[in-house]
Chains A and B, each alone.
Chain A
């Protein structure tokens, strides 16, 4: 009897250590969408180790491979979908600056479910794709890092900002207005940096170079840097028309900041089937 129990325990431990693998991304049904990479709900989702290749179709290209694979699990609560992406990365790069690129990952899905797929590389004209993009510096901001130069360069010495001088009252509308004069991107609503609620961004694209924001209240994310690299959960609404036991396609991209990967310089996958499992 004791031996049987021991065997069962060993089997269970082995099962939890070695997840079931899959040849496609399988979104398992869940009641509450897992929002953290450490959520136990991920244990039930099969894992796909998706091979990645350098983006070498359009300039600027990535010529040296870096992240060779990304491990993906998925879950859906019927309205939204969460994907957990994990990849090996020896360096945590979440501080932006001149020549300081940040770690990032993205999930890409065709706008429409149809046999004729968009190009796996950002779609094409008339065949758009939706992209949900997570970035390590945004995660740091969401996790509480401040929005000043000293948060990026702790030893920086700053003598004066004109919009923080008297008689302007700290936090006043007049002061904020004047500060925006020196931050044209923020003035135009292009929030590449600065305070934010979520570390992800929803986008659409119809080919390389056409990426454009497509804000959605459904996009969420959470990234944690561990011993071997990043573990990131990206959640977004379910692709339109993805009924239970139907498939669409998904593609992934990963950037390693310390390797100067940014924009088109990335590791990517091709299209991978994405099954929304009913049970």
Chain B
């Protein structure tokens, strides 16, 4: 085991291989508050990549309802249970990661789902936490809550799948940090399936190999966002490049949200993988639940997000989500307009932060008629 630095934990940790950062790191921000679980992302991915034989059950992208939804079944609860209670001390994680908690003979603490665990991807859908008593809808905020969690491979800096593969069949691309299973080398041992805490590697019984999200790298190489980003009708997603914390740039959208404003947080940072998909936590779920999913910064992130209406730069950047299929690597706001730029400074997209409002009087004096909302 090597010692590597995991900035999400605020400390060094043990990992199977030495630290090796890519030239630039693919990363994404998902705004949980905007997701409506329409599953358009899921279908965009499914039709693009996993319509083959043996891939029937695979959802490289899925959207689950929290707190009760999960795909595969209880993927998160089972590992949290195995890892047991762990401690954060401020921004520093004092507990054990899944690498540090690996039992004898194993590289990673993990478990492997059975086929039935994949059979209920809609479990818990739209089920809210708490009791919906008679009349409870009359009071605000509602006691019941749920939210939708869209998930893809996190293209982790310290991937457990990569660490667990005894053949070295999984690699991170040096140019963009995208994690791939080498389909020529994989022998289908399913060690990666067991190790990935997010369960985003899938065994294909009809090719005999394990397969996973490839971040639509052919599109990334063309400067475009992946399919699940471009097809998201809720405009919850933004793909880009993430700098190391000490090199964060205020005009880099991902850096701004993750490092500078700290409103976008990793999913289960305590597992120790330094995942590169970041979530703006839901504003209406209990902070304790958010902290378990997104780490100790969840409360502050929600407060910062709620301040967006009075924060033009943050509000402007949030308006850039889902406005173009192209990757936006820089942004700037001038007045009421936010502009997304390519790496060379060329304008990619320009978005007004507020749309014009037209007020039609209830009485049409020209026609001498009262306007009605319905015919």
Within 8 A of A (CB), among B298-331: none
Within 8 A of A (CB), among B166-192: 166-168, 183-191
**A172 at interface, CB cutoff 8 A:** no
- B205 to A96, Cβ gap below 8 A? yes
- Residue numbers in A under 8 Å from B104 (CB-CB): 61, 63
**B144 at interface, CB cutoff 8 A:** no
- B53 to A148, Cβ gap below 8 A? yes
Question: In angstroms, how far is the closest chain B Cβ from the Cβ of A148?
Answer: 7
Stretch at the interface among A105-113, A185-193, A226-234, A268-276: A185-193
- With the chains together, A216 CA to B255 CA distance in Å? 53
- Residue numbers in A under 8 Å from B167 (CB-CB): 209, 211, 263
- With the chains together, A179 CA to B113 CA distance in Å? 27
**A240 at interface, CB cutoff 8 A:** no
- Residue numbers in A under 8 Å from B52 (CB-CB): 161, 163, 179, 181-183
- A58 to B211, Cβ gap below 8 A? no
- B107 to A59, Cβ gap below 8 A? yes
- A162 to B209, Cβ gap below 8 A? no
- A161 to B206, Cβ gap below 8 A? no
Given A60-B105, A193-B208, A209-B168, A185 and B186 contact (CB-CB distance below 8 Å):
yes
Within 8 A of A (CB), among B55-114: 55-57, 104-107, 112-114
- With the chains together, A170 CA to B51 CA distance in Å? 17
**B5 at interface, CB cutoff 8 A:** no
Write the chain B residue with the least CB distance to A181. B52
- A97 to B105, Cβ gap below 8 A? no
On chain B, the number of residues with a Cβ less than 8 Å from chain A's Cβ atoms is 43
- A162 to B51, Cβ gap below 8 A? yes
- B166 to A209, Cβ gap below 8 A? yes
- With the chains together, A152 CA to B205 CA distance in Å? 8
Write the chain A residue with the least CB distance to B16. A59
Question: In angstroms, how far is the closest chain B Cβ from the Cβ of A132?
Answer: 15
- With the chains together, A38 CA to B55 CA distance in Å? 38
- A99 to B56, Cβ gap below 8 A? no
Given A97-B115, A190-B209, A63 and B105 contact (CB-CB distance below 8 Å):
yes
- B56 to A149, Cβ gap below 8 A? yes
**A264 at interface, CB cutoff 8 A:** yes
Question: In angstroms, how far is the closest chain B Cβ from the Cβ of A265?
Answer: 8
Write the chain A residue with the least CB distance to B118. A98
Question: In angstroms, how far is the closest chain B Cβ from the Cβ of A33?
Answer: 28
Write the chain B residue with the least CB distance to A61. B105
- Residue numbers in A under 8 Å from B112 (CB-CB): 98-99, 260
Question: In angstroms, how far is the closest chain A Cβ from the Cβ of B211?
Answer: 7
**B54 at interface, CB cutoff 8 A:** yes
- A192 to B188, Cβ gap below 8 A? yes
Question: In angstroms, how far is the closest chain A Cβ from the Cβ of B219?
Answer: 15
- With the chains together, A101 CA to B190 CA distance in Å? 9
- A190 to B183, Cβ gap below 8 A? yes
Write the chain A residue with the least CB distance to B214. A184
Question: In angstroms, how far is the closest chain B Cβ from the Cβ of A181?
Answer: 8
- With the chains together, A186 CA to B112 CA distance in Å? 24
- With the chains together, A58 CA to B104 CA distance in Å? 11
**A262 at interface, CB cutoff 8 A:** yes
**B278 at interface, CB cutoff 8 A:** no
- With the chains together, A153 CA to B206 CA distance in Å? 12
**A156 at interface, CB cutoff 8 A:** yes
- A98 to B203, Cβ gap below 8 A? yes
- B205 to A97, Cβ gap below 8 A? yes
- Residue numbers in A under 8 Å from B49 (CB-CB): 182
- Residue numbers in A under 8 Å from B117 (CB-CB): 98
Within 8 A of B (CB), among A135-150: 147-149
**A13 at interface, CB cutoff 8 A:** no
- With the chains together, A186 CA to B104 CA distance in Å? 35
- A185 to B55, Cβ gap below 8 A? no
**A194 at interface, CB cutoff 8 A:** yes
Within 8 A of A (CB), among B191-215: 191, 193, 202-209, 211
- A182 to B50, Cβ gap below 8 A? yes
- A183 to B105, Cβ gap below 8 A? no
Question: In angstroms, how far is the closest chain A Cβ from the Cβ of B197?
Answer: 16
- A98 to B193, Cβ gap below 8 A? yes
- With the chains together, A147 CA to B114 CA distance in Å? 21
- B105 to A182, Cβ gap below 8 A? no
- With the chains together, A190 CA to B181 CA distance in Å? 13
Within 8 A of B (CB), among A51-86: 56, 58-63
**A158 at interface, CB cutoff 8 A:** yes
- Beyond A97-B205, A99-B193, 6 additional pairs, beta carbon < 8 A: A149-B54, A152-B206, A179-B53, A183-B54, A187-B183, A263-B187
A-B pairs with the 8 shortest C-beta distances? A182-B52, A192-B208, A193-B208, A61-B105, A263-B189, A188-B184, A185-B207, A184-B183
27 contacts between A and B (CB under 8 A): A59-B105, A61-B105, A61-B106, A98-B114, A98-B118, A98-B205, A99-B193, A100-B114, A149-B205, A160-B51, A182-B55, A183-B54, A184-B183, A184-B211, A185-B208, A188-B183, A190-B184, A190-B185, A190-B207, A192-B208, A208-B166, A209-B168, A262-B188, A262-B189, A263-B166, A263-B167, A263-B187
